[in-house]
Amino acid sequence: MAKATLYFPRDFKWGCATAAHQVEGGNDKNDWWAWEQGEGHIKGDQKSDRASDWWGDGFEKDMDFAAQMHNNAHRLSIEWSRIEPQEGQWDTAAIDRYRVMLKSMRERGIEPMITLHHFTSPQWLIERGGWETPEVIPRFERFVTKAVESLKDLCDLWITINEPNVYAVGGWVSGVDQTSEAVAQNAMPPGKNDLGLALTVMDHLMLGHAAAYHAIHRLQDNARVGLAHHMRLFEPYRSNSWLDRWVAGNRDRVFNQTILDAMLRGRLRFIKRNRSLRNTADFIGLNYYTREFTRFDRHNLPGMILGNGLVKPGIEMSDGNYGEIYAQGLFRFLKRLERTGKPIYITENGLPDADDDQRPRYLITHLRAIWQAINQNVPVMGYYHWSLVDNFEWAEGWNLRFGLVELNPQTQARQLRRSGELYGEVCQTGTLNEELVYKYTPELIDTLFPG
Ligand code: BGC
């Protein structure tokens, strides 16, 4: 018999998140596919290939796992380059395929949340300047209009754009060699290193978001629309150094706060006001993974303003030094986001952990942080774990494994990890209880249920 029990709200959304290019396979008409062909872009020159075979049989298999885990929600993305393979040409077979997928989720009692842009863009768009030119805004709006018109009877929960900050930094800042001391940054296409262009791209992403937000509301009365915002906790490497505190604060403003200011207050680059952008979030989508320590570096200008992201000795990191495991960061962000007055969905949270020795603890401590926030009346509506199944992890290729379901990409064989079993028990009961903590992470019992 369970002694102590932490209850989540009855209508809480329990799910996982995925992105089209990472799971579908064969997405050969987008910029990532082209990027994967370039030597040295992906670790070991790996490719997405069949990915997790969602364009084949993989989707149904993984939805069976989601159902087995009692998920009542799932966040997936649709691939622009499939729906509009050439400018202005719509592929009705691709749209129909997405309709089949959404119906099949609904039949299992799984409510979809659709992301309209998750890092990939059609090659034809890139050839016309991609996100670097303002023409992308009406182009994205036209795609969103088509997608929403075609799918709105099956979905009313939309994410316009995934992580504009990660996208702009990955594509337009990280194409530079990092010093060995620094936290490794993964480059994304187009692999540039141009801060001015990164800011332009960021403006276009936010204006594209606003155009999509208004278009969706014109098309669907009951739509709820947001953006998935990656927030990373930046803390001073030396807590007693005001210079480290200053660079950590700057990083936070640039990486975390600008996006919130844009979609809530209509502010671009701290000062420019844009009325169409103001209040374009019905909810906040929070992607939270980790915390990063930041140290002032007087040797170069970026280091003096934004510092270097460093790993502190002695902290617990996930596979491949991906990031520190720090659940309290999630609680702190939820408290900070409470001030926006918007409902919050945790649209991503997870870690790479191939042997699943850290994930049970990660899951339980992060869910406990969410429970703690809800108990302080923070309106958290749902949790989407990243990810349902091992998938193509961008520049890391297949090296990092985020799935609750383990996948062998060669044979496409799958198996539910122990953390998947654990998540299933949480989703089934809508609780975290003492019995479950004993079963999966006995080492946490005194911390979670003291006394
Ligand atoms: C991205 C995902 C990615 C995950 C893990 C997020 O920033 O949205 O596409 O796989 O992080 O790195």
Please name the residue whose Cα sits nearest to atom 3 of ligand 1.
Answer: 393
Cα(250) to ligand 1 centroid in Å equals 23
Give me the count of residues in the chain: 451
Is 140 contained in some domain? yes
**Cα–Cα distance between 252 and 404 in angstroms, integer?**
30
End-to-end CA distance of the chain: 17
Q: Give me the mean pLDDT over the 406-410 stretch.
A: 98
- At 177, is the pLDDT very low, low, confident or very high (cuts 50, 70, 90)? low
Q: Is the pLDDT of residue 359 over 70?
A: yes
Q: Is the pLDDT of residue 224 over 90?
A: yes
Is 57 contained in some domain? yes
Are the beta carbons of 289 and 323 closer than 8 angstroms? yes
Q: Is the pLDDT of residue 311 over 90?
A: no
Domain that holds residue 380: 12-419
Cα(216) to ligand 1 centroid in Å equals 25
pLDDT of residue 3: 75
Of ligand 1's listed atoms, the one at least distance from the Cα of 393 is 10
**Cα–Cα distance between 306 and 26 in angstroms, integer?**
38
Is 428 contained in some domain? no
Substitution candidate for ligand 1 out of 394, 396, 404 with most atoms within 8 A of CB: 394
Instruction: Output DSSP code: residue 299.
Output: T
Is 253 contained in some domain? yes
Residue located via tokens 């018109």: 149
Of ligand 1's listed atoms, the one at least distance from the Cα of 19 is 9
Ligand 1, CB cutoff 6 Å, lining residues: 19, 162-163, 166, 230, 287, 348, 386, 393, 402
Substitution candidate for ligand 1 out of 18, 32, 319, 348 with most atoms within 8 A of CB: 348
Is 76 contained in some domain? yes
Are the beta carbons of 63 and 104 closer than 8 angstroms? yes
Is 446 contained in some domain? no
Q: Is the pLDDT of residue 2 over 60?
A: no
Q: Return the sign of the alpha-carbon dihedral for residues 402, 408, 414, 418.
A: negative
Please name the residue whose Cα sits nearest to atom 9 of ligand 1.
Answer: 19
Is 101 contained in some domain? yes
Cα(42) to ligand 1 centroid in Å equals 15
Residue 24's contacts (CB-CB under 8 Å, 6 or more residues apart) are 51, 52, 54, 55, 79
Which amino acid belongs to residue 441?
T
**Cα–Cα distance between 227 and 215 in angstroms, integer?**
14
pLDDT of residue 335: 98
Of ligand 1's listed atoms, the one at least distance from the Cα of 162 is 8
Cα(77) to ligand 1 centroid in Å equals 12
**Cα–Cα distance between 200 and 135 in angstroms, integer?**
12
pTM value > 0.85: yes
Quick check: bond before 150 cis, omega within 30? no
Q: Residue 343: which of 10, 13, 5 has the closest Cα?
A: 13
Q: Is the pLDDT of residue 450 over 90?
A: no
Q: Which residues pair with 159 in a beta bridge?
A: 115, 226
**Cα–Cα distance between 281 and 258 in angstroms, integer?**
14
C-alpha gyration radius of the chain: 21
- At 181, is the pLDDT very low, low, confident or very high (cuts 50, 70, 90)? very low
Q: Give me the mean pLDDT over the 25-45 stretch.
A: 95
Q: Which residues pair with 33 in a beta bridge?
A: none
Is 3 contained in some domain? no
Cα(450) to ligand 1 centroid in Å equals 34
Q: The CATH number of the domain where 45 resides is what?
A: 3.20.20.80
What average pLDDT is seen over the chain? 95
pLDDT of residue 179: 47
> What letters, b where the CB count within 10 A reaches 16 and e where it falls short, cover 278-310?
eebbbbbbbbbbbbbbbbbbeeeeebeebbbbb
pLDDT of residue 184: 39
Report the number of distinct structural domains present in the chain: 1
